[in-house]
Amino acid sequence: MKRIPNSTPAMTKQQRGFSMIELLVVMGVIAIILAMAVPAMQSMLAGNKLVQAADDLQSALATMQQEAIKGNEAVEVRFYTFRDLNLPISNPQFRAYQFVKKVTATTERDRKSSGRNDGFVVIPLSKIERLPEGVIMLNESEYSTLITSQKMIRETRNVRIPDSEDGEYYAFHFRPDGSTTLPKTGSEQWYVTLVNEADVLANAGGLPANFVTLQVDAHNGTVRKFQPGVQ
């Protein structure tokens, strides 16, 4: 009996596709690549957030210095410390800033509504600007004299912070000529350093590898930025 040849051609390796072992190998390679890439991406995003926070603060300080000059009246710069209730674990840290001006209370009603006994009414020039989540001002005297020096104006009365515990603040002023109320004697420098809070916890204190420092010139009020090592 004559055999009828099989009309279906033999399948090549390419036509058969991948075997299960080959698929597992490919998936393993992809998993390794992702495991290496994700931490690097997270570090890059955290670094970008840190730089953006510093840029925003530097720009705001420059704007309010010009506001003091233009309005011919002092502008107060406040740095707030508080515990963030939006985070599962949060210690009191400097997480926000605000700009205000003080005017003399002209009526008894103004004096009572201000809640102050110094004869002034506080007028906000900005809302309380919170740093991006996870970014803080490093509360160590070696790196942030603007929020640690006893020569700064310090208000320990509770100040209402949205979505957080009440806080307190350190402050200085831009004068109408653009200079500051920061002490100008000796070699003391005035600066604040921004870091990622997770880096501080991982570093067990001290200065992390990623940081941005803003320095305020006490004489002319200009703000300089230093960001060595930000990744």
Instruction: Could you list the beta-strand ranges (E) of the chain.
Output: 75-82, 93-104, 120-124, 129-130, 135-137, 153-159, 167-174, 190-196, 212-216, 223-226
| Cβ burial, residue 225 (10 Å; 0-12/13-18/19+) | middle
Backbone angles phi, psi at 204, to 5 degrees: 55, 45
Output the pLDDT for position 64. 96
Output the pLDDT for position 184. 86
For residues 160 and 92, give the distance between their C-alpha atoms in angstroms, rounded to a whole number. 14
Segments making up each domain of the chain, as ranges: 45-226
Q: Model pTM?
A: 0.76
Output the pLDDT for position 12. 53
The CATH number given to 45-226 is 3.55.40.10
Output the pLDDT for position 75. 96
For residues 173 and 99, give the distance between their C-alpha atoms in angstroms, rounded to a whole number. 9
Contact (CB, 8 A) for 207 and 198: no
Output the pLDDT for position 125. 95
For residues 172 and 187, give the distance between their C-alpha atoms in angstroms, rounded to a whole number. 18
Output the pLDDT for position 66. 96
Q: Which residues contact residue 122 at a Cβ distance below 8 angstroms, ignoring those fewer than 6 apart?
A: 100, 101, 102, 114, 116
Look up residue 109 and give its two tokens.
């009603």
Q: Which residues pair with 94 in a beta bridge?
A: 81, 137
For residues 64 and 52, give the distance between their C-alpha atoms in angstroms, rounded to a whole number. 18
Ordered DSSP codes for 153-196 = EEEEEEE--TTB--EEEEEEEE-TTS-BSS--STT--EEEEEEE
Output the pLDDT for position 215. 96
In the chain (231 residues long), the average pLDDT of successive 10-residue segments reads 55 58 76 64 73 96 96 95 78 93 69 59 91 93 93 82 83 96 87 92 82 95 86 55
Reduced to 3 states (helix: H, G, I; strand: E, B; else coil), residue 81 is: strand
Looking up tokens 């985070």, which residue turns up? 87
Contact (CB, 8 A) for 157 and 115: no
